[in-house]
A = this chain, B = another copy of it.
């Protein structure tokens, strides 16, 4: 068993209202960042877990996302990185 660190991005689904992203975008423009077009706010989750292989770690975390970490009705997830510790 090796310890892996797997990071995940969870983001509001396209088409789902993202009021948080809108509010932050508006605030940034008010602060003078005129070039800001769109902002999306999601979660960044790092799971440290023991697994037999990198692939196993990735698969485990995918299942964690499906079952708990992401809300499939309104969110998408994507495994960002997998690294042995």
Contacts and interface: CB of A to CB of B under 8 A. Distances in A.
Interface string A30-41: 010101111111
Nearest to A38: B48
Interface string A67-79: 1110000000000
Interface of A: 1, 3, 7, 9-11, 24, 27-28, 31, 33, 35-51, 60, 63-64, 67-69, 80
Contacts of A44: 9-11, 41-44
Contact of A64 (B33, B45, B60): B33
**A-B complex: 8 closest residue pairs judged by Cβ atoms:** A44-B44, A35-B50, A38-B48, A42-B44, A35-B49, A40-B46, A37-B48, A36-B49
